[in-house]
A and B are shown apart, each in its own frame.
Chain A
Amino acid sequence: MLASVGLSYSIRIELNEHQKRLFELRSLLTKIFWEMNYSMRPVELVLLYQIETQDEDLRNILKEIGECLMKKEAKCGEDVWREIFQKHRKELRLKPEESELIEQAGNAFFGKSVEENQKVLSLYQEKLDFLIEVERRERREKQKVYQTVCIMSGLVLVILLI
């Protein structure tokens, strides 16, 4: 019985973390844009020195992007952003559509002007908001299902043992 409650709890935490990461990603996109806009510094410096996040995976990814941009070994910045997020897909544990969105979101930081970046960013944020909303709904449903299934199977196990 305890094990099933534990399992349901861990599933709940996992779902929570997934949602938390999506929120963190959304907030990071906004932070990066505003830091760029405010300081008018190149993306590489913003990513390396100005963006703070509690999420260690994301922090490492942003640092890696900043370092790669500094090396100037890629023809365009969007490619660097996409490739590094692709490389870390597994660690981020996002759904394919979420991963794709985040990989493309780099387009919002390498435009010709702040206005262009802002418009592209709002497009991605809108998409991300939609995904977050879907995720929130799914999470509630999943939680209910997992919780019920876990408790039921726990009860069955207890009955069997008795």
Chain B
Amino acid sequence: MKLELLFPIHLRETLKNLEKLQDLEEIRVRIGQPLFFYTGEKELVLLQKEKEGQLRNSKEPGTYDKVYRATEADLLEMQNYISNYSLYAWQEELRNGFLTIQGGHRIGLAGGTINQNGRINGISYLTFFNIRVAHEKIGCARRILPYICNHNTLIVSPPGVGKTTLLRDCIRSLSYDGTKIGLVDERSEIAACYHGIPQNDVGPRTDVLDGCNKPEGILMLLRTMSPMVIAVDELGIEDDFKAVEQAAYCGCRIIGTVHAGSMKELQEKPVLKKWCEKELFERFVFIKRGVNGMRECNVYNHRWELLC
């Protein structure tokens, strides 16, 4: 899906070249606020149509007087485009606060929550969107593959730095190299399946279990698809790690991702501590944002020694 199709019709002409915007990572839409477009290190804003109607660096003086601000009608319109006019079909996703659209772009949602029995049961009005643009960076895992290809690996970074992109490329590369991969794509971000067909290249030997929760998905793939490697995004809860452990003891290798701001933070994560002590994971790839938004990857072993 073209990104400009997510925006209100009157803004599409201005945003028609959005795809060409280099390194576009994130778009933020907030009610009554400017539209922010993040590319690498830059923060761009959309100017009003009568005042040029283009994207400009938000740091330029005088920019804020001319910015276009999203209205309630804009957000309602966007809600229809994002959900393909079918909000009912995204009830589970709304409960989780995000949805993945065609092309693998993930849209974080916020607004008024509906609470039932003390738990969030949905969002009644959507007034904040965070559009995270999916990137397929083919070849970005080339450098780390020799270090991780025969080990259970965790890819680690803070949110938005590129764990999923790196994981996708690991899957693709291993799959092209002859490894049978089972991918549990709970949020449809990796393969970005649309209508059951992966929109991203995940390789010829990859089976995708789309929209399935991780613990169940891992065990199901293990039983049904005899994968050599199971790939899974955003491991977080104890049940995820239990399923990973079960798979690892069945002769499968695991590549997963996990959120952490630093290696120290990772070591101190309560849920992960137990599994690290058991040496369930043998490699840790830490991604950090370098100069000019470039990503740097460091590979550690299970004794936290830097390998590359």
A binds B: yes
Chain A residues within CB distance 8 Å of chain B: 36, 40-45, 49, 69, 72-73, 75-77, 80, 109-114, 116-117
Chain B interface mostly helix, strand, loop or mixed?
A: helix
* B198 → chain A closest CB, angstroms: 17
Residues of B within 8 A of A36 (CB): 86, 88-89
Q: Does B5 contact A (CB under 8 A)?
A: yes
Residues of B within 8 A of A117 (CB): 88
* B97 → chain A closest CB, angstroms: 16
A36→B86 CA distance, assembly (Å) = 9
Residues of B within 8 A of A75 (CB): 8-9, 77, 80
A58→B89 CA distance, assembly (Å) = 24
Binary interface encoding of chain B residues 156-197 relative to chain A, with 1 for a CB under 8 A from any of its CBs, else 0: 000000000000000000000000000000000000000100
Residues of A within 8 A of B195 (CB): 45, 49
Interface residues of B in 1-28 (CB under 8 A from A): 5, 8-9
Contact A112 B88 (CB under 8 A): yes
> With contacts A45-B195, A76-B80 known, is A40 near B9, CB below 8 A?
no
Residues of B within 8 A of A72 (CB): 5, 81
Contact A116 B9 (CB under 8 A): no
> With contacts A75-B77, A76-B80, A77-B80 known, is A111 near B87, CB below 8 A?
yes
Residues of A within 8 A of B9 (CB): 73, 75
Q: Does B84 contact A (CB under 8 A)?
A: yes
> With contacts A75-B9, A76-B80 known, is A42 near B91, CB below 8 A?
no
A114→B88 CA distance, assembly (Å) = 6
Q: How many residues of B are in contact with the other chain, CB < 8 A? A: 15
Interface centre among A44, A49, A80, A113 (most CB of B within 10 A): A113
A62→B205 CA distance, assembly (Å) = 37
Choose one: B5, B77, B89; the contact of A40 (CB below 8 Å).
B89
Interface residues of B in 105-128 (CB under 8 A from A): none
Binary interface encoding of chain B residues 116-149 relative to chain A, with 1 for a CB under 8 A from any of its CBs, else 0: 0000000000000000000000000000000000
Contact B84 A69 (CB under 8 A): yes
Contact A42 B89 (CB under 8 A): yes
Interface residues of B in 72-102 (CB under 8 A from A): 77, 80-81, 83-89, 91
Residues of A within 8 A of B83 (CB): 42
* A116 → chain B closest CB, angstroms: 7
Residues of A within 8 A of B86 (CB): 36, 41-44, 77, 109-110
Contact B88 A116 (CB under 8 A): yes
Contact A113 B85 (CB under 8 A): no
Query: Closest B-chain residue to A111, C-beta based?
Result: B88
Residues of B within 8 A of A111 (CB): 87-88
> With contacts A72-B5, A73-B9 known, is A42 near B80, CB below 8 A?
no
A110→B87 CA distance, assembly (Å) = 7
Binary interface encoding of chain B residues 190-229 relative to chain A, with 1 for a CB under 8 A from any of its CBs, else 0: 0000010000000000000000000000000000000000
Contact B91 A114 (CB under 8 A): yes
Contact A77 B85 (CB under 8 A): yes
A45→B84 CA distance, assembly (Å) = 9
